[in-house]
């Protein structure tokens, strides 16, 4: 039984991604190698006996660039830097040990890996580039360090150019955006999962292996796993099933005096502000009034507040007179079909008392409060 369990290790699990993604990768490899080969062949007026225009390691590079474009091993600096460093190393040891090919090959592979680690350009096919420089025979040895420029550097840049074009045209951002460059909805930006950045960094330090996955992708995978676990535990509770209807909303041009009366009558501590298309452009709360009233002390609260909401009746005024001038413009909204798991951290961690609910066209359809969420969780 133990032998069977051990033998199962040799049969890997199926690769993630559907067949559409696998066909996309295969066609990308075709385009990359064809483009690289044709351009290089045209550039040297190809002679099949005397000239190398395309080297075999480019086939391995194409697997990474088109099938695993998010991998740290498939990034632009990885392929260009890794292949050039490996070519330099291979040529150097081939010249140092011309009579001992095996020693030259071993040293070329070892120092290529060390240098790629040091320069952050680890690229597995580069190991084959180093061996090609050593084992390629008289034709390649005759090129000397010219082998680094042609065909290695030229092949690498041509293949990289096709990867940049093909991956982006087929919906795969390449090079992948870093976490700081990625945009997300307000709800996603404010969502906090059970682990923090420092937790992930500590775990990666403790995991004494090289992981062939982009750090941001790993973080996204862990977050999605945790999100799915929360959904499974909480059931299918969506915002549109627990939200309260919108009794009234304000517009940008509402007078402050009228807005204050509506806010005072509202069961919520804030009221959504919408435009003519009923899309949320802000939130008006008690805090907004107090922030703009700017009372110097408790004794001045009433007078400063009355001064704020009273109309000046002048054509030009330095004090705000309409809702749009004092509202909080960074209103966090949530989709009507979003799961309750997205709401909880907004209310607990970020102390949002009111969250406008919008439909697929970003139009206001409801209000979610702390009470609505607590009732849903209790039931």
| SS3 labels along the chain | CHHHHHHHCCCCCCCCCCHHHHHHHHHHHHHHHHHHHHHHHHHHCCCCCCCCCCCCHHHHHHHHHHHCCCCHHHCHHHHHHHHHHHHHHHHHHHHHCCCCHHHHHHHHHHHHHHHHHHCCCCCCHHHHHHHHHHHCCHHHHCCCCHHHHHHHHHHHHHHHHHHHHHHHHCCCCCCCCCCCCCCCCHHHHCCCCCCCHHHHHHHHHHCCCCCCCCHHHHHHHHHHHHHHHHHHHHCCCEHHHHCECCCCCEECCCEHHHHHHHHHHCCCCEEEEECCCCEEEEEEEHHHHHHHHCCCCHHHHHHHHHHHHCCCCCCCCCCCCEHHHCCECCCCCEECCCEHHHCHHHHHCCCCCEEEEECCCCEEEEEEEHHHHHHHHHC
* Residue, of 129 and 353, whose pLDDT is higher: 129
| pTM for the full predicted model | 0.62
pLDDT of residue 185: 46
pLDDT of residue 100: 94
Instruction: Express as a percent the part of the chain with pLDDT over 70.
Output: 74
pLDDT tens for residues 50-81? 467 899 999 999 999 999 898 889 999 999 99
pLDDT of residue 49: 47
pLDDT of residue 191: 46
pLDDT of residue 152: 95
* Residue, of 263 and 49, whose pLDDT is higher: 263
pLDDT-derived band at 256 (thresholds 50, 70, 90) equals confident
* Residue, of 371 and 148, whose pLDDT is higher: 148
pLDDT of residue 184: 46
pLDDT of residue 60: 95
| 346 pLDDT higher than 70 | yes
* Residue, of 73 and 301, whose pLDDT is higher: 73
| 188 pLDDT higher than 70 | no
* Residue, of 43 and 48, whose pLDDT is higher: 43
pLDDT of residue 224: 67
């Amino acid at each position: 039984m133990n032998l069977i369990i051990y033998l199962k290790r040799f049969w890997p699990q199926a690769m993630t991604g559907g067949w559409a993604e696998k066909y996309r990768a295969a066609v990308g490899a075709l385009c990359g190698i064809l483009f690289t080969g044709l351009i290089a062949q045209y550039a040297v007026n190809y002679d099949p006996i005397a000239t190398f225009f395309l080297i075999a390691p480019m086939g391995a590079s194409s697997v990474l660039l088109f099938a695993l474009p998010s991998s740290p091993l498939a990034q632009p600096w990885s392929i260009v830097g890794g292949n050039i460093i490996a070519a330099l190393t291979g040529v150097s040891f081939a010249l140092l040990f011309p009579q001992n090919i095996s020693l030259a090959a071993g040293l070329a592979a070892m120092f290529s890996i060390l240098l790629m680690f040091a320069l952050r350009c680890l690229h597995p096919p580069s190991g084959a580039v180093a061996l090609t420089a050593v084992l390629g025979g008289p034709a390649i040895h005759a090129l000397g360090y010219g082998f680094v420029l042609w065909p290695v550097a030229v092949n690498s840049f041509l293949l990289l150019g096709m990867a940049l074009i093909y991956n982006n045209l087929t919906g795969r951002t390449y090079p992948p955006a870093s976490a700081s460059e990625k945009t997300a909805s307000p709800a996603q930006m404010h969502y906090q999962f059970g682990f923090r950045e420092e937790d992930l960094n500590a775990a990666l330090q403790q995991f004494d292996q090289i992981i062939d996955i982009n750090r941001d992708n790993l973080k996204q995978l862990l977050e999605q796993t945790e999100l799915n676990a929360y959904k499974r535990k909480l059931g299918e509770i969506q915002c549109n099933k627990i939200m309260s209807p919108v009794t009234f909303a304000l517009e940008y041009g509402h007078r402050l005096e009228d807005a204050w009366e509506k806010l005072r009558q509202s069961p919520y501590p804030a009221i959504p502000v919408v435009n003519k298309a009923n899309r949320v452009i802000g939130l008006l709360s008690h805090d907004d009034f107090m922030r703009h009233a700017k009372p110097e002390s408790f004794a001045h609260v009433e007078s400063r507040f009355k001064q704020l909401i009273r109309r000046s009746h002048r054509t030009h005024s330095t004090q705000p007179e309409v809702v749009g001038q004092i509202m909080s413009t960074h209103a966090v909204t949530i989709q009507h079909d979003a799961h309750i798991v997205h709401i909880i951290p907004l209310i607990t961690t970020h102390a949002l008392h009111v969250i406008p609910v919008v439909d697929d066209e970003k139009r206001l359809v409801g209000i979610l409060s702390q009470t609505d969420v607590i009732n849903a969780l209790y039931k």
